[in-house]
Structures are given as structure tokens and as C-alpha cells.
């Protein structure tokens, strides 16, 4: 089946109806064919293709995968890059088809918002006022409003979103749960370029020198992840092979400075109580901050909007003794281009 393009709600309804007829004909199949949606603003790259491939793998060859391409004006604030945002529908269609999509829904703004901007919108609530929401007031209200509309229009069983936009993913999950949307929300890991930079349609606006500076975002996240891994490893050694401070002192007296320092570290980790995790959030933040502080001094420089280690359930900052899942998120400007990135972390477990 070749890729089909719909630009209006009526055309989309026709595509979904034909798929519905096929699902009815295949109702004896177990499991029944499912519909998946991947929502994009176009300018598709390998990150979007990974979402489409994940959707195709999830629903199987009998399922139906719809990619939406719509640059949503509601989520762009004053002075943001709505007009600058790339529109590349022809290449988007090729990318979507090669990744396994069955259809692309690429409506106009008038088709999505007949009569102008909607008077009734979805509020992102307190979670939508933090981090990206604080920097871009109203952004998440506009995002959730269009996501809700597109979920109604495409009527999927499952919807796929990238982990790169972690706060967006968290809010969509919260909306689906709070408002009883009958859809499964699936997050797909961030796709990165060979040098570590998270894929984004905005990367094309970076000069060669700016790109070198922008790599500080991913380097900071990886440094934090490595610090957490090292702390977990030290904690595991302390629990499996506790050692004494007396042995560390003896090694030091013998001139074995490196071995003594290592033994001191393990002894210190072993002395901590079970209620005090050995992998503090402060150390993780600090490891990332060192990399970002250097990038601020570089030329061209990086202007940091935020670095935050947050609970993925509500995007509030986690305490230093946090255990469980967290997201380390960063946003910064390099030149005129604003970039975001994040990495999921788990405290209190081996990485």
C-alpha cells in the first residue's frame, strides 16, 4: 500500500473509514489491527523516522500508522520562530513513507482552527508553568490543545512521542490520564547525531562554530549520567566488600596514595546509613553544571535558560536524597537558536 495524503478532515475521515473497513474484515485476527499516530510539525528527520518505525513495529503490518504534519501557531509565543520554522512537506512525505507510515495528515491552520484561534483551550496547569512553560508562557496550553484535537481527528489506539521533549511527553500522558482519553501514550528514546547532539529541526540554523558550542548540552547530560553511574558503582562495592578506614590509613602510610584514596571512598560509602542514598542529586547537577559553565565562557557562547533535575511525574525539582526515576533537562541558546535536551536517570539502581 502506498502512502496516502490527507489535507482536510473529510479526506482523513475517508482514510480512517477505509482502514476501519479493513479492521472489520480482519476482526477474527488476534490481536485486532490497531491504529497509531505520530504527531509532528514537519521538517522530518531521523528522530521522527524512529517514531514512525516504532509505531509500525507496535501495530504490525496489519495496523495503520498516521503521521500528522502541522505547524501549530498556538504554541508559538511573541518573537518566536513560527515564520522561520521549516516547511518541507515533499521531503516529509518521503521520510514518512520510507519509515513505514500509511498516511500523512497535513492540514492547514484554517482546517484545524476553522473560524480562527479556538476560544476554548486545554490548560496545562501547574506542570505546564515550569521549565519550558516558564520560559515560554502559554506554550503547553497551545500544544495540548492541538494534541487533543489531533487525537480526536485521528482516533488512534496508541500515540508515539519523543523523549527529547520530555516535559511535553509528561503533559500529554497527564492529559490522557486526567481527561480519560482512550489512547495509549508511548515515549521513544531521543535520537542523536554521531557527535551526541539531539536531533532537531533547529540544528540546521547552527553555524559550524555554534554547533561546537551546542554540543555542551549533550556532554553535560552524559557527564551527569557518568557521575551517577560512578556513584552507584562505588555504593555497590561498599555494600559487597566493605573495608575499614584503618586499612586506608595503613595503605597511605605505605605510600599507596591512590589505593588509599580508593579505600577511603569505599569506606565512606559503606559508613552511610541505608536511609541515605549514596548517589546525591547535587553531585549529578554539579557534574552537568561544570560542562555548561565552560560553554558559557566559550566563543560563541552558550546562554543557559535552565538546568533542572526533576521528577517526571510533575517536573518539580527532586531533593538530594531522591530515589527512583528522574529527568535531567537543559535548555540554552546558542546564537539565535534555542535548543533543549534531557536524559532519564534512575537513582538508587545500577545504570
Considering only CA atoms, which of 321, 329, 327, 330 is closest in space to residue 348? 321
Chain centroid offset of residue 315 CA: 13
> Where is pLDDT greater, at 251 or 284?
284
CA dihedral 94, 98, 100, 106 (to 10 degrees): -10
In the numeric block, the cell 486526567 is attached to: 178
Give the separation between CA 189 and CA 27, rounded to whole angstroms.
32
The residue from 19, 48, 139, 232 that is catalytic is 48
What is the three-class DSSP state of 160? strand
Residues in the chain: 351
Average pLDDT over all residues of the chain: 88
pLDDT at 149: 97
Q: Convert the pLDDT of each residue in 317-336 to its tens digit.
A: 999 999 999 999 999 999 99
Instruction: Please check the confidence at residue 254 and state whether its pLDDT lies above 60.
Output: no
Q: What is the pTM of this model?
A: 0.85
What is the three-class DSSP state of 132? helix
pLDDT at 77: 83
Q: Are 198 and 188 in contact (CB under 8 A)?
A: no
Q: Convert the pLDDT of each residue in 74-98 to its tens digit.
A: 998 877 778 888 899 999 999 999 9
Q: Convert the pLDDT of each residue in 157-201 to its tens digit.
A: 999 999 999 999 999 999 999 999 999 999 999 999 999 999 998
pLDDT at 134: 95
Instruction: Please check the confidence at residue 275 and state whether its pLDDT lies above 60.
Output: no
> Exposure of 170 by Cβ count < 10 A (0-12 exposed, 13-18 middle, 19+ buried)?
buried
Mean pLDDT throughout 128-137? 96
48 is known as an active-site residue? yes
Question: How do strand 184-188 and strand 64-69 relate by DSSP bridges?
Answer: unpaired
pLDDT at 276: 43
pLDDT at 277: 45
Q: Which range is most confident: 98-102, 235-239, 240-244?
A: 98-102
pLDDT at 29: 60
Amino acid at each position: 500500500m502506498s502512502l496516502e495524503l490527507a489535507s482536510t478532515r473529510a479526506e482523513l475521515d475517508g482514510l480512517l473509514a477505509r482502514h476501519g473497513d479493513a479492521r472489520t474484515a480482519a476482526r477474527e485476527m488476534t490481536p485486532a489491527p490497531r491504529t497509531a499516530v505520530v504527531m509532528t510539525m514537519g521538517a522530518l528527520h531521523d528522530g521522527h523516522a524512529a517514531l514512525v518505525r516504532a509505531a509500525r513495529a507496535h501495530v504490525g503490518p496489519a495496523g495503520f500508522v498516521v503521521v500528522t504534519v502541522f505547524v501549530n501557531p498556538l504554541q508559538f509565543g511573541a518573537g518566536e520562530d513560527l515564520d522561520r520554522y521549516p516547511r518541507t512537506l515533499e521531503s516529509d512525505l518521503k521520510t514518512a513513507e520510507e519509515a513505514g507510515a500509511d498516511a500523512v495528515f497535513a492540514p492547514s491552520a484554517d482546517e484545524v482552527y476553522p473560524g480562527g484561534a479556538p476560544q476554548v483551550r486545554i490548560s496545562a496547569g501547574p506542570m505546564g508553568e515550569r521549565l519550558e512553560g516558564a520560559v515560554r508562557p502559554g506554550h503547553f496550553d497551545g500544544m495540548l490543545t492541538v494534541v487533543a484535537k489531533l487525537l480526536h481527528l485521528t482516533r488512534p489506539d496508541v500515540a508515539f512521542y519523543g523523549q527529547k521533549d520530555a516535559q511535553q511527553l509528561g503533559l500529554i500522558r497527564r492529559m490522557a490520564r486526567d481527561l480519560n482519553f482512550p489512547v495509549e501514550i508511548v515515549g521513544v528514546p531521543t535520537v542523536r547525531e554521531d557527535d551526541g547532539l539531539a536531533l532537531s529541526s533547529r540544528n540546521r540554523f547552527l553555524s559550524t562554530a555554534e554547533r561546537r558550542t551546542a554540543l555542551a548540552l549533550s556532554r553535560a547530560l552524559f557527564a551527569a549520567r557518568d557521575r551517577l553511574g560512578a556513584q552507584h558503582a562505588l555504593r555497590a562495592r561498599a555494600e559487597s566488600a566493605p573495608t575499614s578506614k584503618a586499612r586506608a590509613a595503613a595503605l597511605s602510610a605505605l605510600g599507596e596514595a591512590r589505593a588509599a584514596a580508593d579505600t577511603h571512598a569505599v569506606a565512606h560509602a559503606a559508613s552511610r546509613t541505608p536511609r541515605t542514598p549514596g548517589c546525591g542529586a547535587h553531585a549529578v547537577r554539579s557534574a552537568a553544571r561544570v560542562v555548561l559553565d565552560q560553554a558559557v565562557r566559550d566563543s560563541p557562547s552558550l546562554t543557559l535558560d535552565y538546568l533542572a533535575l526533576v521528577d517526571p511525574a510533575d517536573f518539580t525539582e527532586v531533593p538530594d536524597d531522591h530515589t527512583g526515576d528522574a529527568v535531567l533537562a537543559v535548555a540554552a541558546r546558542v546564537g539565535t537558536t534555542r535548543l533543549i535536551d534531557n536524559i532519564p536517570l534512575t537513582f538508587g539502581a545500577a545504570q
